[in-house]
């Protein structure tokens, strides 16, 4: 098994995502099960059954990921698309009952950032916006009163979360690159003090991507 930092980071990310998926599914299923029966819309039974199936799916994926000796690279995109599809259905059904399924899209954004950095965040954010738009059009055509403010506020929330996570993805890539540059430093340095200082400053400028580095010191006497 490879021991590269990037490889280990993928394993940790997939395990974190699988654990988060399982916790979210269990909490959502518990919340719906604890809701009064008269508070549920008749069509919510379909979503309830779908949520139970999703919780079982989350458990199977979590067990598979934690037992796998290496990242399941081919399943990352598949599980991400399944998450988005299930969350989209839950978001559409959410108009019939007070629930917190909107937070699942935040989980999708976080998962995409951990897996594919800012590119995954952008793709997931665009998909989430599309789902929210379709849901808003559906609600506008089927409901007597349409809450446009609710859609607007949720769109703003998604935008803020997507921007923050996208920046986090860029920052993580930059930090990993800087650590890699530090690890690649050779221990060989010039014997003379002037050459050694020049070489260290060049390396520091390379790590920091700085156009110039200034060193100031004071003589004892």
Give the burial string for 190-213 (b: 16+ CB within 10 Å, else e).
eeeeeeeeeeeeebeeebeeeeee
Percentage of the chain lying above the pLDDT 90 cut: 0
End-to-end CA distance of the chain: 57
Asked if 107 and 24 touch (Cβ cutoff 8 Å), the reply is yes
pLDDT top residue among 89 and 85: 85
- In the predicted model, what is the mean pLDDT of the chain? 76
Count Cβ atoms within 10 A of the Cβ of residue 21 and give its class: 0-12 exposed, 13-18 middle, 19 or more buried: buried
Given a cut of 80, is residue 122 above it in pLDDT?
A: yes
Residue 187, CA atoms < 13 Å, CB-side half-sphere:
0
Q: Give yes or no for a contact between 50 and 80, defined as CB atoms under 8 angstroms apart.
A: no
Angle ∠(79,80,86) on CA atoms, nearest 5: 85
Could you tell me if 112 and 121 are in contact, meaning their C-beta atoms sit under 8 angstroms apart?
Answer: yes
pLDDT in tens, 192-210: 777 788 878 887 887 777 8
The yes-or-no verdict on residue 46 having pLDDT over 50 is yes
Rounded Cα gap, residues 119 and 136, in angstroms: 26
> What would the pLDDT profile of 56-81 be if each residue is shown by its tens digit?
988 998 888 888 777 666 788 888 88
C-alpha to C-alpha distance for 103 and 125, rounded to whole angstroms: 13
Closest CA to 25 of 49, 66, 62, 56: 56
- What's the chain's length in residues? 221
For the purposes of burial, counting CB atoms within 10 Å of the CB of 162, is it exposed (0-12), middle (13-18) or buried (19 or more)? buried
Query: CA-to-CA distance for 25 and 40, rounded, in angstroms?
Result: 18
């Amino acid at each position: 098994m490879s021991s590269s930092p990037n490889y280990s980071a993928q394993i940790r990310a997939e395990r974190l995502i699988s654990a988060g998926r399982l916790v979210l599914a269990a909490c959502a299923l518990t919340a719906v099960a604890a809701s009064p029966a008269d508070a549920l819309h008749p069509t919510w039974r379909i979503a309830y059954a779908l949520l139970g199936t999703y919780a079982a799916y989350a458990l199977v994926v979590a067990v598979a990921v934690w037992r796998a000796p290496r990242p399941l690279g081919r399943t990352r995109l598949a599980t991400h698309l399944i998450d988005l599809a299930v969350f989209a259905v839950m978001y559409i059904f959410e108009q019939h009952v007070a629930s917190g399924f909107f937070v699942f899209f935040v989980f999708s954004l976080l998962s995409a950032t951990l897996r594919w950095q800012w590119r995954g965040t952008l793709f997931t954010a665009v998909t989430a916006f599309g789902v929210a738009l379709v849901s808003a059009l559906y609600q506008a055509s089927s409901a007597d009163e349409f809450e446009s403010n609710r859609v607007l506020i949720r769109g703003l929330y998604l935008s803020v979360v997507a921007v923050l996570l996208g920046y986090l993805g860029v920052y993580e890539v930059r930090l990993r690159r800087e650590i890699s540059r530090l690890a690649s430093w050779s221990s060989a340095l010039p014997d003379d003090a002037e050459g050694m200082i020049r070489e260290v400053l060049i390396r520091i400028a390379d790590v920091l991507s700085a156009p110039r580095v200034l060193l100031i010191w004071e003589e004892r006497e």
